[in-house]
């Protein structure tokens, strides 16, 4: 008996709508490339203003470093005094909510979409991501679709969060596992 195979010619995500017109998406694609993804633009306030112009809800004191890629700003909420490091990629096919005082370190990846490997048609699956106040996503770490990182959780360098992270807890590995509690000294 021949095993089932993937049939990407049967892939169909017509059900998915990114939440903006094609014109708005093209305009964002160009401005994202020129001002956010461009490593020659260090001016955070310009990036924040453009994101707000395209529908992102952004608090005060947000710092966005060079070479950041944000797929759909109208699906993004960021709280006060959050830091977004170089080469962060927010691939937000679904809503991404980032609390206050959150740190996304260099190369962090927030991934709200994936494909169903169990289906021959390789169906698109999406899930929102929430990073609560004080969460810290380490350099080159990935947060997967549907994950919530609760208050002050830490995802260590190069780790992958495939399920929710508990508050004040440090996680490491792929998939990320609890390694210890987080204590914050005054």
| Token pair belonging to 185 | 């000294």
Each residue's pLDDT tens digit, 103-118: 999 999 999 999 988 8
**CA dihedral for 162, 180, 151, 66, sign (positive or negative):** negative
pLDDT tens digits for range 137-186? 999 999 999 999 999 999 999 999 999 999 999 999 999 999 999 999 98
Rounded CA-CA distance 26/156 in Å is 35
pLDDT of residue 2: 62
- 67-99 pLDDT, tens digit each: 999 999 999 999 999 999 999 999 999 999 999
What is residue 122's predicted lDDT score, i.e. its pLDDT?
Answer: 86
pLDDT at 150: 98
Give CA–CA dist 165/177, Å, rounded: 9
Q: Which CATH number does the domain 20-180 belong to among 2.160.10.10, 2.60.120.10, 3.40.50.720, 3.30.310.50?
A: 2.160.10.10
Q: What is the pLDDT of residue 1?
A: 60
Cβ contacts of 50 within 8 Å, gap of 6 or more: 31, 35, 36, 73
Write down the pTM of the prediction. Answer: 0.94
In the chain, where the domains are located: 20-180
Taking all residues of the chain, what is their mean pLDDT, rounded to a whole number? 95
Q: What tens digit of pLDDT does each residue of 7-63 get?
A: 888 888 899 999 999 999 999 999 999 999 999 999 999 999 999 999 999 999 999
Question: Residues in the chain, how many?
Answer: 186
């Amino acid at each position: 008996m021949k095993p089932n195979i993937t049939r990407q010619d049967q892939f169909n995500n017509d059900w998915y709508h990114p939440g903006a017109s094609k014109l708005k998406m093209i305009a964002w694609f160009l401005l994202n490339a020129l001002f956010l993804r461009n490593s020659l633009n260090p001016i955070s306030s310009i990036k924040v203003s453009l994101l707000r112009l395209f529908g992102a809800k952004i608090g005060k004191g947000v710092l966005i470093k060079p070479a950041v890629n944000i797929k759909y700003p109208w699906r993004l909420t960021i709280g006060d005094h959050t830091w977004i490091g170089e080469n962060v990629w927010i691939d937000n096919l679904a809503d991404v909510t980032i609390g206050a005082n959150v740190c996304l370190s260099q190369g962090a990846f927030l991934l709200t979409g994936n494909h169903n490997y169990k289906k021959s048609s390789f169906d698109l699956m999406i899930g929102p991501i929430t990073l609560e106040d004080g969460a810290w996503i380490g350099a080159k770490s990935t947060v997967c679709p549907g994950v919530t990182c609760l208050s002050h959780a830490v995802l260590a360098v190069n780790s992958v969060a495939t399920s929710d992270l508990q508050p004040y807890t440090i996680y490491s590995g792929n998939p990320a596992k609890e390694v210890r509690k987080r204590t914050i000294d005054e």
